[in-house]
Amino acid sequence: MGPLAGLKVIEITGLGAAPYCGMMLSDMGAEVIRVDRASAPEGAFNPGDPLLRGRRSIALNLKSEPGIRALLQLVDQADAIFEGFRPGVAERLGFGPELCLERNPKLVFGRLTGWGQDGPLAHAAGHDINYIALSGALHSIGRRGQKPVAPLNLVADFGGGGLLLAFGMVCALLEAVRSGKGQVVDAAMLDGAVSFMSMFFGFAANGWFDDELGSHLLGTAAPFYDTYETADGQYISIGSLEPQFFSQLLDLTGIDKKRFSDAGFQGAGQSIDISAWPELRQELESVFLNKTRDQWCRIMEGSDVCFAPVLGLSEMHLHPHNTARETTIEIDGIRQPAPAPRFSHSKPGIPETGSLPGTDSDAILSEWGFSTAEISALHKNGGIA
């Protein structure tokens, strides 16, 4: 089931972004085999982790010649392989893309890094916050007069990294069907984060965006695009950008339209009375504090205000819209995101809980053509755990 059914993918297990790519491909029906370290410490993996779901595991010792030989035999039969090492590590271990593509010319070799495969920082350590710092994204996230705020590790690790790699690999796999040739996919989290800023590059070119923190319409400057506290200490979100949405916001809050009729966004190139924004923000803060989050939901939810309550992970699945769409699922008692996106024909199935490292080593090797004698030899010489 799923649009990628029939594809065989090897995932060299990493952290965060790389497993997310594996989850995305597996959710869509690809057979993704996790290659875990033979020396993975006990307790280091939680099989209920959503990032590990849907994949069986083989534990190979990639620092041994037998382990690398076994990996290359798997590569011979795979449609794709991906890894999240620093540049050059796969080559030093003995399974670099040049060697793998020589053995399997149709192979797609995905490489996920923070900085990319080349450039002055290619070999430097880094994390999401560093990549979005260099992309221009972090500089733009935060309130005026305060410091930039990291949006968890969503932008570079998961969006600009794991999702970008999954997209790149599917693109390369489609191209391989036409040309018969595989290739290397260089997915850099920095590149992905910069790509996410495309709209703001366009805004800057038109003079609608500058580098001052908290000064942009979408960056907490506008009182009608922000979050507000409610009477019960919870929060709601407002995104009343368009004139008709802004008008309904004033109607449902009871705020005087005459005083703030020119304070809303009138469209590209149109002037806004931003001098009224501080007063409007105070009005909205005061109004929203008069009722609880649930009371505001009853008043505004489903309207054109562009409204939603700010929900925590522990409660978001209880919201009627998320419940109706089954946005989350439970697998072995663990709440987690449902596979996305959705398809009208090739619908993905419900993923299974991921395996602990090495649980499926023998079964995978047997299914991928290894003889009983070869599997036994790998156990004896330390190639697999």
Looking at the annotation, which residues are catalytic?
127, 157
- Report whether 16 contacts 49 (CB < 8 A): no
Going by C-alpha positions, the residue among 125, 42, 120, 37 that lies closest to residue 83 is: 37
Q: Residues with Cβ < 8 Å from 191, sequence gap 6 or more?
A: 116, 160, 164
Q: Residues with Cβ < 8 Å from 126, sequence gap 6 or more?
A: 114, 115
- Report whether 348 contacts 338 (CB < 8 A): no
Give one DSSP letter per residue of 308-367, joined into a string.
EE---TTTGGGSHHHHHHT-EEEETTEEEEPPSS--SSS---PPPPPPPTTTTHHHHHHH
- Cα separation, 177 vs 317, whole angstroms: 39
